[in-house]
């Protein structure tokens, strides 16, 4: 049912909210109750002066009755339906649903938004709990101290009596442990608070570099314009730790080299035609795939190809650069999904892998990932090159590919995928237990 035919439903809803009887509203509007009844059930159109009068009596703008306040609500409902594959939701009747049952519709939209927020929170917290060694140590320290205090205090209050020497000893222990607990708690709070501030204050040097790039949307106009990367590093890295500054300097030197080899204007022109395809840049500019991927990931956010994500790892699989996408998060603390093509690429050096990926347990769109491993150091006689792998991720645009999407996770701890051959540790998100869930 089209939206403009639901004016009556909105009048009825508003009247009921105000606690008005149909007969009273009809009388005040100068029409019969039966006519208002027909209007309220959308069997008579309403407009002109009568609409204005009824809107006035109900204390709303006439447009609220004719157009509804539910445009945003309908969009939210469509989004909710889109997030669940094969939900069976009657999308062609979403207007009617929002119009007839606005309360339920709002509840559904709000619940969906809340689920989104909670999922993000769970992911963040689970990831930190599982992979943040500092947090894990701090919690272990606190629980151990609490255990000592609880056991000792219980001994002192339990019936049975305690020898005065032991009493003194236990009092001293409780005193020591309570001081330790206070220190650990303060330290944990300071750590958690610092997490909300710049990564420079709390993270690893690599995270400090990631934070600098994030703060600038991974695009640095000064370097694009040919500025000296050392000067840019001095400016941007003033608050970083000394190691963070070294890493930032190295990363910015590479950015500057990439920008010189693939000038921004020419790359923007290219991606307007080919989209975020690193191999197209390789052909067009005669560059290597890793550089093409890095270049795509440092384009301005409004580039015609859209925002591109990037993960770089060394030959041990440790991430050395991360630019996540909303649909493709990359954990801050190692332990990524071994199914990402980033890692198989290390065993197939110089071969560009292209995969269609979907995040397990997320009803988001598929992404296209390209990955390649290539030497990170210049060739030397009789010396094996040191490899690094790049993986570029771009949201899939346009027509849907017929290629099936491979389900990958973020990290095992927060991945719901079952029967995963690459599972390293059980998931916190339920699923089967025992060997299968492991």
Partner 1 sequence: MSKHVLLIEDEPNIIEAISFILTREGLRVETHTDGTTANARLRERQPDLLILDVMLPGKSGYDILRELREEAATANLPVLMLTARGQTRDREMAERAGVSAFMSKPFSNAEMLEMVRSLVTSRA
Nearer to partner 1, 317 or 426 (CB): 426
CB of 146 to partner 1, least distance (A): 5
Binding mask 106-145 for partner 1 (x = CB under 8 A): ---------------------------------xx--xxx
Interface positions, 317-356, toward partner 1 (CB under 8 A): none
- Binding piece for partner 1, criterion CB under 8 A, among 4-12, 148-156, 279-287, 376-384: 148-156
Q: Which of 148, 227, 353, 422 binds partner 1 (CB under 8 A)?
A: 148
Interface positions, 386-425, toward partner 1 (CB under 8 A): 425
Size of the site for partner 1 (CB under 8 A): 26
Q: Is 177 in the site for partner 1 (CB under 8 A)?
A: yes
Nearer to partner 1, 141 or 195 (CB): 141
Q: Is 173 in the site for partner 1 (CB under 8 A)?
A: yes
CB of 193 to partner 1, least distance (A): 23
Binding mask 149-168 for partner 1 (x = CB under 8 A): -xxx-xx--x-x-----x--
CB of 407 to partner 1, least distance (A): 22
- Binding piece for partner 1, criterion CB under 8 A, among 108-116, 146-154, 201-209, 307-315: 146-154
Q: Is 183 in the site for partner 1 (CB under 8 A)?
A: no
SS (H, E, C) the chain: CCHHHCHHHHHHHHHHHHCCCHHHHHHHHCCCHHHHHHHHCCCCCCCHHHHHHHHHHHCCCHHHHHCCCCHHHHHHHHHHHHCCCCCCCCHHHHHHHHHHCHHHHHHHHHHHHHHHHHHHHHHHHHHHHHHCHHHHHHHHHHHHHHHHHHHHHHHHHCCCCCCHHHHHHHHHHHHHHHHHHHHHHHHHHHHHHHHHCCHHHCCCHHHHHHHHHHHCCCCCHHHHCCCCHHHHHHHHCCCCCHHHHHHHHHHHHHHHHHHHHCCHHHHHHHHHHHCCCHHHHHHHHCCCHHHHHHHHHCCCCCCCCCCCEEEEEECCCCEEEEECECCECCCCCCCCCCCCCHHHHHHCCCCCEEEEEEECCCCCCCEEEEEEEEECCCCECCECCCEEEEEEEEECCCCCCCCCCEEECCCHHHCCCCCCCCCCCCCCCCCCCHHHHC
Nearer to partner 1, 139 or 268 (CB): 139
Binding interface with partner 1 (CB under 8 A): 139-140, 143-148, 150-152, 154-155, 158, 160, 166, 169-170, 173, 176-177, 425-426, 428, 433-434
């Amino acid at each position: 049912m089209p939206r403009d035919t639901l004016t009556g439903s909105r009048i009825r809803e508003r009247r009921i909210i105000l606690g008005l009887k149909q007969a009273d509203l009809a009388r005040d509007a100068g029409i019969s109750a039966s006519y208002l009844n027909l209007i309220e059930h959308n069997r008579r159109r309403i407009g002109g002066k009568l609409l204005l009068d009824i809107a006035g009596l109900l204390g709303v703008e006439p447009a609220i009755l004719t157009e509804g306040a539910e445009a945003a609500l309908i969009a939210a409902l469509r989004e909710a339906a889109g997030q669940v594959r094969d939900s069976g939701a009657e999308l062609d009747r979403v207007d009617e649903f929002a119009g007839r049952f606005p309360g339920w519709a709002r509840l559904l939209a709000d619940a969906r938004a809340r689920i989104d927020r909670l999922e993000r929170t769970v992911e963040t917290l689970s990831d930190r709990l599982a992979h943040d060694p500092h947090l894990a140590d701090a919690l272990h320290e606190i629980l151990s101290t609490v255990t000592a205090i609880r056991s000792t205090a219980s001994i002192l209050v339990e019936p049975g009596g305690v020898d005065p020497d032991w009493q003194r000893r236990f009092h001293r222990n409780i005193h020591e442990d309570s001081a330790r607990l206070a220190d650990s708690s303060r330290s944990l709070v300071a750590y958690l608070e610092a997490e909300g501030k710049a990564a420079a204050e709390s993270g690893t040097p690599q995270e400090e570099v990631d934070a600098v790039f994030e703060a600038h949307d991974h695009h640095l106009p000064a370097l694009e314009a040919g500025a000296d990367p050392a000067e840019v590093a001095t400016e941007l890295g003033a608050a970083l730790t000394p190691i963070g500054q070294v890493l930032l300097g190295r990363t910015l030197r590479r950015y500057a080299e990439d920008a010189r080899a693939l000038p921004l204007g020419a790359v923007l022109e290219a991606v307007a035609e080919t989209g975020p395809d690193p191999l197209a840049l390789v052909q067009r500019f005669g560059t290597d795939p890793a550089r093409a991927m890095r270049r795509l990931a440092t384009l301005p956010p409004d580039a015609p190809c859209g925002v591109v994500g990037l993960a770089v790892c060394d030959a041990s699989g440790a991430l050395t650069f991360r630019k996540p996408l909303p649909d493709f998060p990359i954990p801050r603390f190692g332990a990524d999904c071994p199914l990402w093509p980033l890692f198989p690429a290390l065993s197939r050096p110089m071969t560009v892998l292209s995969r269609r990926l979907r995040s397990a347990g997320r009803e988001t769109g598929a992404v296209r990932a390209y990955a390649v491993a290539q030497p990170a150091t210049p060739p030397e006689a009789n010396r094996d090159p040191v490899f690094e792998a790049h993986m570029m991720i771009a949201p899939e645009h346009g027509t849907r590919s017929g290629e099936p999407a491979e389900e990958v996770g973020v990290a095992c701890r927060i991945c719901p995928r079952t029967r995963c051959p690459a599972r390293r540790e059980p998931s916190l998100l339920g699923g089967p237990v025992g060997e299968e869930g492991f």
